[in-house]
Structure 1
Amino acid sequence: MAAILQEKKEKKEAKKKAMQEEQAAKLRKIEEEMAREKERIKKEEEEKLKEVKEEEDEGPPLERRRGQHSGNRDGEMEKRISEWVANLSLGEEEEVTLKKWEAEKDVLKRQAMEDEQRMEWKLAMMREKKRRVEAASEAVKELEEVQKLSLKLTPQVDLERKVEILAQSVERLAKIQE
């Protein structure tokens, strides 16, 4: 009877150990995914900052050269800076969350915390995707407006060119008649 009880106890312990190892493997996988995502976000932010710096180095935009100020450009810069700061604080929050996970001994609570964090991350990714889609559609609308304006300006440029050619022809005729 003692051997049977001992065997059952060993099976339970083996099952518990296997479950803990499985949970640890899942945790490592999630940590790796978070680390990769964190790296990707960091690279993305570095690229954005690089783009912003390149835009600043190119000089002021055409509107500013004419004396007009573009509030849209300043707002865009502020938006990028606030996103960057938010992502930095998000990274700090991830570290705190990972420490909480490591401190949690109850496997079910840890898994629930992981699931909750994963769902929050997915929601954030979906919101970011939606924001990007909206920004892309807005950019398409702006491009269409610019194309319409350029089509309107093309005949005016042609007309100006024709007037210049006529003026040059009149000058030549005047010189010839002299």
Structure 2
Amino acid sequence: MVETRSGKSTSPYTQEQQEKMAALVRENKERKELLKQAKLKAIAEEYAAKMNKLKEEMEEKKKAAEVEAAAEAEEERKRREVKGESSGTANKEAAMQKKNSEWIANLSLGEDEEAEMYVPQDERDALARELATIKDPLERQETEEEKKLEWKLRMKREKKRREEVNRLTAEVAKVRDCGQEVQAQTDISAKMDKMLGYLEVLSEAWMKERQANWDHDVALSAMWSGFRDFARDMVTHVGGEVRRLRDNVGKFCEGAIESAKAVVVVESEARPRKEPVKLKFPDAYGGKKEENFDNWEASVNS
């Protein structure tokens, strides 16, 4: 028995009891370590599944972008074949390099000029011919603005597609590097730190992609809204001009009528009046039968 400071007595653990307690502590520690390892393994498997899914999605997007680019290149090649141009690979690459060089050289130009760099020359010539056939200046301006807006939207989509291809290529390369780095780690804690860091990178990339898509949609909506405002202003302007012309025509007609009335009044006042002419006719013969008719005729002629 051993007495404590409070005066109570207690008996120390025996060797067998100490071994049991140590075994229980060791079992609890091993069980906690197993649970921790199981959780880490589940997290690692979930992360690997997410990485594989993300990699597959990126590969699909990249393939879709490549297919779209190939379709556009095929369409461009067919257009050049129709025009009689060469469709060889060397000429195509030279044309693409020339187009890229022109685009880079014209970065300082306005948005309209930059949009025209994405439009083939034959399409621009067709627009010029179409505008030349339109006589109404308002209709010609509206057609030109609508076509330029279409070119701007095409430019936005092309730039967005190129940025998406470049971004997906970089993301795929980053995911591959992440997988290699995680595979190279032997310590579970180090692997978890790496995976958590890459999860943060992926979440940040997803937020940037979402923000970029939203900004792109906002830009397109703003362009459409600007075009609608322009069309509404144009219709309002044309309606105002028509009303003004109609009012001017009415005022002109009223003025012309009043002027005609005034001219008629002035002419009627200026025309000299003719005095009535009194005609004196000889009296009829009122003589008697026995009077001489020759004497009456002589008196009338005198």
The bucket for the TM-score relative to the shorter chain is 0.5 to 0.7
37-46 or 103-112, larger mean C-alpha shift: 103-112
Among candidates 174, 177, 189, match of residue 93 of structure 1: 174
Residues of 1 paired with 2:211 and 2:71: CA distance? 23
Residues of 2 paired with 1:110 and 1:116: CA distance? 10
Amino acid paired to 1:4: L
Structure 1 residue 35: deviation in Å?
1.7
Tell me: CA distance 1:134–1:51, structure 2 relative to 1, closer, same or farther (3 Å): farther
Where does the alignment leave 5 or more consecutive residues of structure 2 unmatched? 1-19, 80-119, 130-147, 236-302
- Write out aligned runs for 1:71-86 (5 A): 80-81=161-162, 83-86=164-167
- Write out aligned runs for 1:15-94 (5 A): 15-53=35-73, 55-57=75-77, 59=79, 60=120, 61-65=122-126, 66=128, 80-81=161-162, 83-94=164-175
Where does the alignment leave 5 or more consecutive residues of structure 1 unmatched? 152-178
- Larger relative contact order, structure 1 or 2 (CA cutoff 8 Å, min sep 6): 1
Q: Sequence identity of aligned pairs in percent?
A: 19
Alpha carbons 1:101, 1:110 under 8 Å: kept: yes
Residues of 2 paired with 1:58 and 1:42: CA distance? 24
Q: CA RMSD in A?
A: 4.1
Rg larger in structure: 2
1:2-44 deviations in whole A, cap 9, x for unaligned? 4313322331232122122212222222212212321232133
1:53-85 deviations in whole A, cap 9, x for unaligned? 255246345214449xx9967787566445433
Amino acid paired to 1:48: E
- Write out aligned runs for 1:1-178 (5 A): 1=20, 2-53=22-73, 55-57=75-77, 59=79, 60=120, 61-65=122-126, 66=128, 80-81=161-162, 83-104=164-185, 105=187, 106-137=190-221, 140-141=224-225, 144=228
87-96 or 135-144, larger mean C-alpha shift: 135-144
Q: TM-score, normalised by structure 1?
A: 0.60
Tell me: CA distance 1:38–1:9, structure 2 relative to 1, closer, same or farther (3 Å): same
Tell me: CA distance 1:53–1:7, structure 2 relative to 1, closer, same or farther (3 Å): same
Residues of 2 paired with 1:84 and 1:18: CA distance? 38
Count of residues paired in the alignment: 153
